[in-house]
């Protein structure tokens, strides 16, 4: 029986062939890192430029120079959180957030004397409490609001443009965590006037692991201090870090083989169109949701809002720990999925679901088939009959 991979919320697999071809082509033929004047360096520079253009087009950003190429969404989030916040600053994030938001905030709470508060969400529809956001913004002058666009556990999408408007009216900056939505949801970066948007290049955009991007509103780049300083191949006569994006935030050689794959993946997404990929993902997650709901031992964390699904469907099985279930699913049914807290440690307690060590998560990707979804549901049904 073929393997079924349902862990696309961690990283996408399988990837379109054009991604492997682009990486392999660069490893075979690419000679340089984008510094210098020879043909290899020019080709690498052209690749970087094309990738920034492609990402800017995908997210609706006006300035490709303000697309910083990173190692993933974690680095992108850290560039903003650690590069922006000063002692005394206040931040609003949420209980849906990933540790790549929560840990930098917790770190700065201790080392830089910032403060932060967390928005609650409704377990019924998975949505963050917008009234609470308004109240918190009215109560405390806030420097930054972190907006979780798609939850990597619940799989629900937040109305980030509406939330950003409230933040903007209160004079706060916005940082969108689009790790789970880039590649299939509408991001409208410039139109919604977001200040910063962190993207993964290896999930909804099915590029190689170790790729991502940060989009910066051009007039906000001077607010950020770079996290890493060093060689950029530009302004080399100066001992000072360049002040302009992207060099300001891209010290050291970029992961050019990965970026070649990211460029191919982003171009593939634009060719397929995010709207088509979104529809496919929604259909898969809705079918998963409905199939799992019919199994009596299943307790779904993902709320019953299929029109708002962005991929992940999480659940618990009564009488079976999620880690044991994941092992059986792989060994007996050739299904790879994720078990645990999914790096979002505040979500399960907030949903009142910590009697187990987390949940099982099935996350289809752009190349998952309906037959695989059906096989996954029947595997859980069999599992619940024989092991719970």
Residues that bind ligand PLP (CB under 6 A): 10, 72-74, 98, 100, 152, 177, 179-180, 200, 212
Spatial strand order in the sheet of 115-119? 67-70, 212-216, 196-200, 173-177, 144-148, 90-94, 115-119
Residue with tokens 């340089």: 32
Least gap, CB of 311 to ligand PLP (angstroms): 10
Closest to ligand PLP by CB, 73 vs 187, is: 73
CA distance to 85, 86, 160, 218, per residue, from 143 (Å): 8, 9, 17, 18
Closest to ligand PLP by CB, 280 vs 342, is: 342
Q: In this structure, are residues 138 and 117 in contact, taking their beta carbons and an 8 Å threshold?
A: no
214-253 in b/e burial notation, b at 16+ Cβ within 10 A?
bbbbeebbeebebeeeeebbeeeeeeebbeebbbbbbbee
Least gap, CB of 197 to ligand PLP (angstroms): 12
Least gap, CB of 10 to ligand PLP (angstroms): 6
Least gap, CB of 148 to ligand PLP (angstroms): 6
- Going by C-alpha positions, the residue among 347, 349, 14 that lies closest to residue 155 is 347
Element (H, E) at 129: none
The DSSP result for 279-291, as a single string, is HHHHHHHHHHHHH
Closest to ligand PLP by CB, 257 vs 291, is: 257
CA distance to 179, 185, 305, per residue, from 157 (Å): 12, 9, 10
Closest to ligand PLP by CB, 295 vs 310, is: 310
Q: Which residue is nearest to ligand PLP (CB)?
A: 72
Task: Return the SS3 of 370.
Answer: helix
Closest to ligand PLP by CB, 242 vs 257, is: 257
Least gap, CB of 100 to ligand PLP (angstroms): 4
Least gap, CB of 177 to ligand PLP (angstroms): 5
Closest to ligand PLP by CB, 116 vs 333, is: 116
Closest to ligand PLP by CB, 242 vs 365, is: 365
- 294 Cβ contact list (under 8 Å, min separation 6): none
Spatial strand order in the sheet of 313-317? 298-300, 313-317, 359-362, 338-340
Closest to ligand PLP by CB, 73 vs 172, is: 73
Least gap, CB of 250 to ligand PLP (angstroms): 17
Closest to ligand PLP by CB, 208 vs 246, is: 208
Least gap, CB of 182 to ligand PLP (angstroms): 10
Least gap, CB of 165 to ligand PLP (angstroms): 22
| Alpha helices (runs of H) in the chain, residue ranges in sequence order | 17-29, 39-59, 73-84, 99-111, 130-139, 160-169, 256-272, 274-293, 322-333, 347-350, 370-387
């Amino acid at each position: 029986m073929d393997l079924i991979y349902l862990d696309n919320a961690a990283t996408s697999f399988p990837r379109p062939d054009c991604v492997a071809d682009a990486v392999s082509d660069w490893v075979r033929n690419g000679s340089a890192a984008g510094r210098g004047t020879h043909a290899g360096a020019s080709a690498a520079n052209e690749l970087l430029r094309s990738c920034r253009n492609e990402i800017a087009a995908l997210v609706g950003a006006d300035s490709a120079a303000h697309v910083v190429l990173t190692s993933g969404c974690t680095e992108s989030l850290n560039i903003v959180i650690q590069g922006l916040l000063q002692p005394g600053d206040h931040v609003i994030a949420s209980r849906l957030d990933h540790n790549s938001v929560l840990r930098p905030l917790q770190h700065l709470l201790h080392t830089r004397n910032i403060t932060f508060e967390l928005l609650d969400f409704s377990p019924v529809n998975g949505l963050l409490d917008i009234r609470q956001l308004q109240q918190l913004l009215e109560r405390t002058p806030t420097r930054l609001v972190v907006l979780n666009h798609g939850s990597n556990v619940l799989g629900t999408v937040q109305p980030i443009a509406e939330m950003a408007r409230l933040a903007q009216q209160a004079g706060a900056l916005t940082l969108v965590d689009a790790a789970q939505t880039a590649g299939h949801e509408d991001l409208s970066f410039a139109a919604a006037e977001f200040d910063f948007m962190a993207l993964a290049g290896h999930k909804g955009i099915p590029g190689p692991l170790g790729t991502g991007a940060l989009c910066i509103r051009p007039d906000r780049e001077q607010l950020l201090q770079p996290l890493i300083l060093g060689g950029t191949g530009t302004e080399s006569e100066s001992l000072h870090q360049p002040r302009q994006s992207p060099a300001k935030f891209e010290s050291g050689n970029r992961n050019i083989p990965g970026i070649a794959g990211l460029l191919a993946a982003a171009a593939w997404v634009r060719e397929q169109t995010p709207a088509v990929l979104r529809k496919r993902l929604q259909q898969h997650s809705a079918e998963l949701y409905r199939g799992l709901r019919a199994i009596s031992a299943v307790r779904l964390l993902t709320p019953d809002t299929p029109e708002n699904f962005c991929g992940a469907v999480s659940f618990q099985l009564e009488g079976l720990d999620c880690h044991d279930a994941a092992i059986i699913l792989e060994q007996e049914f050739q299904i790879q999925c994720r078990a645990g807290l999914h790096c979002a440690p505040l979500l399960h307690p907030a949903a009142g679901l910590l009697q187990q060590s987390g949940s099982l998560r099935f996350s289809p990707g752009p190349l998952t088939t309906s037959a695989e979804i059906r096989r996954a549901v029947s595997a859980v049904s069999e599992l619940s009959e024989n092991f719970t």
